[in-house]
Structure 1
Amino acid sequence: MPSLELRVPPVAQVLVAAVLMGLLARAFPTGPLVFTPPYALAGALAGLGCAIAVAGVLAFRRARTTVNPMTPGASSAVVSTGIYGLTRNPMYLGFLLALLGWALALGHGLALLPVAGFVAWMTRFQIVPEERALREKFGEGYEHYLRRVRRWI
């Protein structure tokens, strides 16, 4: 399904997942998967996610390379320091943590299903095509980075 690669902006994917999470929690308000939300932990997780995503954006800005995830071929540099020395995809990891915080705030286990879908979609239709484009553009230097730093965490 290459036609879906790099077609849906990651922010739109986050919004779709968040809405689905809320709809699932509302559609099934009782049951064994419902729990009392640990709001402080949920907020901390979402806040950490936002901070990690912003750190990724700022690192790209400092390197003067594109932050547009739809055009990885327009990248002018491989950013491999700072937050990018810990994860290859801090913006996506930040989105994931924010979604996990939202799942906790909803207090419903079914809210995790769209989170799993988000990770699967992002990996297959966003990250893998990005990596392919960056391999073609930056060659061995990017390959070395791939071997050194994990995709998510």
Structure 2
Amino acid sequence: MDTARYIFAVLIVSWLPPGMLWWLIVHPFVDVWRKIGPRPTLWIMGTLAIAGVIGLTAIRDLLVGPDLGTRYTLVVAAAGLGAITTWIAVIRRRQLTTRILFGVPELDKDNPGTLLTDGIYAHLRHPRYVEVWLGTLAYACFANYLGAWIVWLATGPMLHLVVLLEERELRDRFGGEYEAYMARVPRYLPRLRRG
């Protein structure tokens, strides 16, 4: 169990930050990336992400920090959160293809894609980011290393910043259609139905 917990801690501290950085580099400069085009942008960003993972993995022991020990209540919480995260991922995957996940439509000025408003996207605007946040919490609960908890705490504000940048880009790309979608669908938590 200790080895598995350590692996989960390493995954959080070495894989998640480059993934977040990807979107914090793409969204604010989307006009520049569109001029470069999807394929070169994905090569550049992929190379940066891989370099980031390798660099962070090299200093993993520093990043994971102290082991806070196995706590079976946290292991159970991790299993429950993992199940919810998996459920969201399966449902979300029906609309959010790998192509969309990597940002190809927003990088391709000639083929901007379509606004996702069906399925889980009819209930919340950013299921992928909810999935990442809950999944990171599940990993942190299971790992129970200080570094994993710190990354999880930073994940919420970082994801929110990514969401704000993405929403700006979606308003630019889809205009009134996205504004109307924003007015009727909540950002992170689905509305409870009455009656």
Q: Are the structure 2 counterparts of residues 116 and 66 from structure 1 closer, same or farther at C-alpha, using a change threshold of 3 Å?
A: same
Rg: which structure is higher?
2
Contact 1:59-1:79 at 8 Å conserved across structures = yes
Contact 2:65-2:147 at 8 Å conserved across structures = no
Q: Are the structure 2 counterparts of residues 4 and 136 from structure 1 closer, same or farther at C-alpha, using a change threshold of 3 Å?
A: same
Residue deviations 1:41-80 (CA, integer Å, cap 9, x gap): 312212321321232221234xxx8332365354421111
Q: TM-score, normalised by structure 2?
A: 0.55
2:181 maps to what in 1?
145
SS in 2 for 1:6: helix
Cα drift, residue 105 of structure 1: 0.9
Determine the C-alpha separation between the residues in 1 that align with 2:82 and 2:89: 11
The percentage of counterpart residues that share the same residue type is: 24
Q: Are the structure 2 counterparts of residues 40 and 24 from structure 1 closer, same or farther at C-alpha, using a change threshold of 3 Å?
A: farther
Contact 1:45-1:101 at 8 Å conserved across structures = yes
In structure 2, the gaps of 5 or more residues are 1-22, 28-44, 190-195
Does 2:89 match 1:69?
no
Q: Are the structure 2 counterparts of residues 55 and 67 from structure 1 closer, same or farther at C-alpha, using a change threshold of 3 Å?
A: same
Aligned length: 136
Determine the C-alpha separation between the residues in 1 that align with 2:127 and 2:119: 10
Amino acid at match of 2:71: T
Correspondence for 2:90 among 32, 42, 54: 54
Contact 1:52-1:94 at 8 Å conserved across structures = yes
Does 2:117 match 1:85?
no
The higher-RCO structure (CA 8 Å, 6+ apart) is: 1
Determine the C-alpha separation between the residues in 2 that align with 1:133 and 1:86: 20
In structure 1, the gaps of 5 or more residues are none
Cα drift, residue 4 of structure 1: 4.0
Q: TM-score, normalised by structure 1?
A: 0.68
Alignment root-mean-square deviation, CA: 3.3
1:1-153 residue pairs with structure 2 within 5 A? Answer: 4-6=24-26, 27-30=65-68, 36-38=71-73, 39-61=75-97, 66-69=100-103, 72=106, 74=108, 75-107=112-144, 111-124=148-161, 126-153=162-189
SS in 2 for 1:60: coil
Cα drift, residue 114 of structure 1: 0.9
Cα drift, residue 141 of structure 1: 1.4
Cα drift, residue 24 of structure 1: 7.6
Residue deviations 1:72-130 (CA, integer Å, cap 9, x gap): 35442111122112221111211111111111112356633211212222222x32222
